[in-house]
Amino acid sequence: MQLQRFFELNPRIAVAYSGGVDSSYLLYAAKAAGCDVQAYLLKSQFQPRFELDDAVDITGDIGVALIVDEFDILNEPEVVKNPPDRCYYCKTKIFGRLWELARKDGYIFLCDGTNADDDESDRPGMRALRELGVLSPLRDSGLSKSEIRRLSEQAGLRTHNKPSYACLATRIPAGTKITSQHLEKIEGTEKALANMGFSDFRVRFLPPNGAKIQVTDNQWDIAATQRKEILTVLKPFFDSIVLDLVCR
pLDDT single digits (tens) 119-173: 776 678 889 999 999 999 999 999 999 999 999 999 999 999 999 888 999 999 9
Q: In what order do the strands lie in the sheet with 110-111?
A: 66-70, 36-43, 12-16, 110-111
Specify the pLDDT at position 193: 95
pTM reported for the whole predicted model: 0.93
Alpha carbon 166 to chain centroid, angstroms: 5
- Across 225-242, average pLDDT: 93
Query: Which CATH number does 3-161 carry?
Result: 3.40.50.620
- Mode of pairing for the β-strands spanning 36-43 and 202-206: unpaired
User: Where do the structural domains in the chain lie, given as residue ranges?
Assistant: 3-161, 179-243
